[in-house]
Amino acid sequence: MGETFYITTPIYYVNDVPHIGHAYTTVAADVAARYHRLKGEDTYFLTGTDEHGGKVAATAAEKGMEPQAWTDQISQRFREVWPRLDISNDDFIRTTEERHIKPVQAFLQHLYDKGEIYEGEYEGPYCQSCEAFYKESELVDGGCPVHKRPVERLKERNYFFRLSAHAGWLLNEYYAQNPCPVQPDSRLNECVSFIKSGLQDVSISRPSLEWGIPLPWNPEHVIYVWIEALQNYITALGYPDGDKFKRYWPAVHLVGKEIVRFHAVIWPAMLHAAGVEPPKMIFGHGWLLVGGEKMSKTNLTGIHPFELVDAFGVDAYRYYFLREVAFGQDGNFSWESMEARYTSELANGIGNLASRVVAMIGAYFDAAVPAPSAPETDQDATLREVCEASVRDYTTAMDALAFHQALEAVDKIVRRANGYIVETAPWVIAKDPTQRDRLARVLFSSAETLRILAVLLSPFMPGACERLWGMLGSSSPLSHQVLPAAGEWGGLRPGSATHKGESLFPRLEQK
């Protein structure tokens, strides 16, 4: 069946509506999914919502609603955002669905039967906002390291997973023998340090909650939300016997850095204990910051994606965050930086390039792509070589989820192509009838560069690239292009009928 690629976002907690922090992860996962489809791989992309836990029940109560009615409402808000952002997910899992609940109970029953789960007593710090237990050493000034708020001190009878028994396997096999199980390296180092500091068994149940999945062997306990939520990545595929599970697992998980510990320590250990292959990779990206603070409703920085889409368009929205921020590191968002990227790289960069090239082909060759009959000059060769080198750099970066580096490689092509047009001045060549073949070579090379740009940028800006593809008059659909062949020089067919169309990236209104 060829190569398969399975990528997931975290499932988003339904205590509030989506903001651009949620969209950042989802767009990144979508770009990765589209890229692997572009390589011809059988790709599956999952996202969804995390709907159990005390925080959800408390929020629903504040709103005067039942938990299920609240989760139905907020989950739908997430479903409405993703199509507007051109998210191409293959599935959307909700943890209140039967297809999730039953396999979760079966999974934990299996661990219990194997002796991997036991009853004990927990006492220690607990953050209600994270719905997470912490070690004393992880607290910052006595508070939650994520929310900077005081923690609760819980003492209750729980069931525990024997996480400590899997420390050696995590360090010496999963981390040591896999190419890149946790990325970037800084996240891997954090996980190694966490384990070496003394891995403790982890609580998997709460006795005092009602909104959650009951333990199958003791219904008076509800499964701790993090333990059941992690399993969405396999329950959505029909674990344990579903065809999709057999076909696509293991996954690449994209998550925020604050939840790497759950995904890269607890989750692989649980899978290992159950005899299931662990994830292929956990990539913990950084935070989007506004004014130096993590974007969130708590910090009053929860910007809704539509605010930016309405102003800049969906393609510019998708481009900006993965261009501006090195994926894996924290990055600051500002309206001003988004305007600057849009104007310099999209409107004045690829947008201007497309408009000029297509307009000149229309004016000088009756809108038909000319054949490159003249010999290649040093200027032509340099443009071609920049494209070829940038395609290689792009592929290397995309395989490593280094989206900002991939877009830097693309921008090199755009800058060289715009420079090439200025240097060759086709409008001057067009005045000399004896230079007709030379003019054809220049405009073919420019249009071929646009073709390659449309292919490379299609995972990031699918709508704009479809429009660019239409401007070039290519007979084969953009969706049928497959790397690496589609990135090789010379794929544009002479004679293709170009169409000027509207500007790919109109100038922003000055306000």
Query: Does the active-site annotation cover 147?
Result: yes
Q: By three-state DSSP, how is residue 479 classified?
A: helix
The structure's pTM equals 0.92
Residue 34 has which token pair?
């589209």
* 419 — pLDDT class (breaks 50, 70, 90): very high
- What pLDDT is recorded for position 306? 86
Residue 404 near residue 327, CB atoms below 8 Å: yes
Share of the chain above pLDDT 90, in %: 78
Question: What distance in Å separates the CA atoms of residue 328 and residue 184, rounded to the nearest whole number?
Answer: 6
End-to-end CA, the chain = 53
Per-residue model confidence (pLDDT) at position 289 = 81
Q: What are phi and psi of 65, to 5 degrees?
A: -125, 160
In the prediction, which pLDDT does 295 show? 56
Is the pLDDT at 154 greater than 80, yes or no? no
- Pairing type for strands 117-127 and 152-161 reads antiparallel
User: Can you state the angle between helices 67-84 and 20-38, rounded to 10 degrees?
Assistant: 50
Residues making up the chain, counted from first to last = 511
Selected catalytic residue, list 36, 55, 147, 404: 147
Whether 221 sits among the annotated catalytic residues: the reply is no
Distance CA 403, CA 32 (A): 9
Confidence grade of residue 17 (pLDDT, cut at 50, 70, 90): confident
- Over residues 298-332, the pLDDT tens digits come to 544 557 788 899 999 999 999 999 999 999 999 88
Instruction: Give 429-453 pLDDT, tens digit per residue.
Output: 999 999 999 999 999 999 999 999 9
Residue 121 pairs in a beta bridge with: 157
Can you state the angle between helices 352-365 and 462-472, rounded to 10 degrees? 10
Q: What is the pLDDT of residue 291?
A: 67
Mean pLDDT of 241-259: 96
H helix or E strand, kind and range, residue 107? helix 98-113
**511, pLDDT greater than 50:** no
pLDDT in tens, 128-138: 666 666 776 77
d(CA 358, CA 109): 63
Please tell me which residue in 257, 294, 387, 465 is annotated as part of the active site: 294
Q: Which residue of the set 19, 52, 257, 263 is catalytic? A: 19
Is 144 among the residues known to form the active site?
yes
Catalytic entry in 36, 52, 130, 404: 130
**According to the per-residue pLDDT averaged within each range, which of 44-58, 65-79, 104-118 is highest?**
104-118
Q: What is the mean pLDDT of the chain?
A: 92
- The verdict on whether 102 is a catalytic residue reads no
| pLDDT at residue 1, rounded to an integer | 45
CA distance 235 to 249: 11
pLDDT band at 93 (very low <50, low <70, confident <90, very high): very high
One-letter identity of residue 498: T
Q: Does residue 288 surpass a pLDDT of 80?
A: yes
pLDDT number for residue 301: 53
Q: Which of 36, 100, 144, 404 is catalytic?
A: 144
- Residue 300 has a pLDDT of 43
Mean pLDDT within 3-32: 92
Q: Which of 36, 52, 55, 127 is catalytic?
A: 127
Report phi then psi at 49, rounded to 5: -130, 145
Buried b / exposed e over 134-164, threshold 16 CB at 10 Å, is beeebeeeeebebbeeebeebeeebbbbbbe
Overall average pLDDT of the 388-409 stretch: 98
Residue 297 falls in the annotated catalytic set: yes
What angle (nearest 5°) sits at the alpha carbon of residue 224, between those of residues 221 and 229? 130
Residue 19 is a catalytic residue = yes
Res. 15: pLDDT tops 90: no
Among this protein's residues, is 127 annotated catalytic? yes
Question: Per the structure block, which two tokens stand in for 434?
Answer: 């004896």
Helix (H) or strand (E) holding 92: strand 91-94
pLDDT digits (tens, 9 = 90+) for 192-204: 999 999 999 999 9
